[in-house]
Amino acid sequence: MEELLTSLKKAQELQKKLDQGNMDSMFNILNQDPQLKKQMEELRKKMG
């Protein structure tokens, strides 16, 4: 649960840096950050 909260905080910080609703930029950032990308993929698996 702790790692989930950390991932969400990182995602929120990234979101603040982006224009609202600019998903392409978010995916570009994820692709540039292998650690975060891996966490997001694991999160998707856990969520179903």
Q: Which long-range contacts (CB under 8 A, 24 or more apart) does 32-37 make?
A: 36/7, 36/10, 36/11
At 23 the pLDDT is 64
pLDDT at residue number 21: 56
CA–CA–CA angle 13, 36, 40 (5° rounding): 100
DSSP state of 19: P
Neighbour tally for 48: CB within 10 Å: 4
pLDDT tens digits for the chain (48 residues)? 788 889 888 888 877 776 555 667 667 777 788 888 888 888 889 887
